[in-house]
Amino acid sequence: MRATTIHAPFDIRVEDLPDPELHRPTDALVKVHAACVCGSDLWPYRGINDVTPGTRIGHEFVGTVEQVGDEVTGLRPGDFVIAPFVYSDNTCRVCRAGMQTSCEHGGFWGTDDEHGLPVDGGQGQWVRVPQAEGTLVTVPGRPGDDLLPDLLTLSDVMGTGWHCAVGAGVQPGDTVAVVGDGAVGLCAVIAAHLMGASMVVAMSRHEARQALATQFGATHLVAERGEQGVAKVRALTEGLGVDRALECVGTGEAMATAFDLVRPGGSVGFVGVPHGVELPIGTMFRNNIGIGGGIAPVRAYLPELRDRVLAGEIHPGRVFDLTLPLDEAPEAYAAMHERRATKVLLQPW
């Protein structure tokens, strides 16, 4: 099969690799219909994370079940499925508490599983899915191609934006500011809007993303960054600060901005992989600003968000502004790195 690998910073390749096979009775084989590139894939791409040459990459995909292991009873060949960006058994006590990203038998796409068996990355034609029954979420029938982008976002960015709002504890009537205008930030706008925020400020200086944020429910746009951006958001709240800030980047600068935006007693949600982040414990103490979030257990939110997509209530797939064949994955990464694209959908077939 064709699948994507990373060999060094800025060195993404699509290579011929062995087709995966069922290894465990809890496995499924999924034929991938659509995959995509994540903002977090850019950390190794940019050399900020270490890279082991030849590593499989990608963790978002939708597809059809082709084969299942003997112990998989809830999935059948032909089922259309969405894969969360972490696989999990969905039955251990951590999963039952809604934290599938910390599953006792789970793991990441593109690395070895708990039995030492390799797991495929998501940016390829096929994927062996461990813990298939706990991991995959089915979509009734065979959704039309027009729904694929929306459903694909449920693998990660939509659930991650949702988790940011959950982590911050967004309540009806809250004033909310979203830091970061990537796909996750835009999906966090959807989440804050759906949760009943009375004000949703999207911080973005990119025209197309501003337009999308407004479509998604942003009531205000602030193009400035840093201190100027903070001043502008504070002015919208008569100097008080917002109830919740949703940090959807992961850098120290974005986190500092998020804390500067929040009123005493408010809170910050965070979902970006932290790079160079130090939490301002003094400010948190003096102003009673809490923080919640982390790597998003999107599996927990998938059934609800799937139903909202199928009902036409949300259209997170609009974050995709470029579609390329899988073989052009290198260009997909470059386009996102250079901010020519918000999010790129890859077609493996």
Interface residues with a second copy (CB under 8 A) are: 93-94, 97-99, 101-102, 167, 240, 263-265, 267, 270, 273-274, 277-279, 281-282, 284-295, 297
| Residue number, 194 or 284, with CB nearest to a second copy | 284
| Residue number, 62 or 245, with CB nearest to a second copy | 245
Distance CA 87, CA 107 (A): 6
Q: Closest approach of Cβ 287 to a second copy, in Å?
A: 6
User: What number of other Cβ atoms are within 10 A of residue 300's Cβ?
Assistant: 22
| Residue number, 160 or 204, with CB nearest to a second copy | 160
Q: Closest approach of Cβ 277 to a second copy, in Å?
A: 5
| Strands 175-179 vs 242-247: parallel, antiparallel or unpaired | parallel
| Residue number, 221 or 230, with CB nearest to a second copy | 230
Instruction: Using alpha carbons, select from 345, 252, 293, 342 the residue that is nearest to residue 162.
Output: 293
| Residue number, 1 or 279, with CB nearest to a second copy | 279
| Residue number, 154 or 271, with CB nearest to a second copy | 271
Q: Closest approach of Cβ 288 to a second copy, in Å?
A: 4
Q: Are 58 and 124 in contact (CB under 8 A)?
A: yes
Instruction: Using alpha carbons, select from 79, 58, 57, 76 the residue that is nearest to residue 68.
Output: 76
Angstrom CA distances, 134 to 31, 80, 255, 302, stand at 18, 15, 33, 12
Q: Closest approach of Cβ 256 to a second copy, in Å?
A: 13
Q: Closest approach of Cβ 265 to a second copy, in Å?
A: 4
Q: Which amino acid is at 68?
A: V
User: Which parts of the chain fold into alpha helices (H)?
Assistant: 42-45, 93-96, 132-135, 148-153, 157-168, 183-194, 207-216, 226-236, 252-261, 281-287, 298-310, 329-337
Q: Closest approach of Cβ 50 to a second copy, in Å?
A: 15
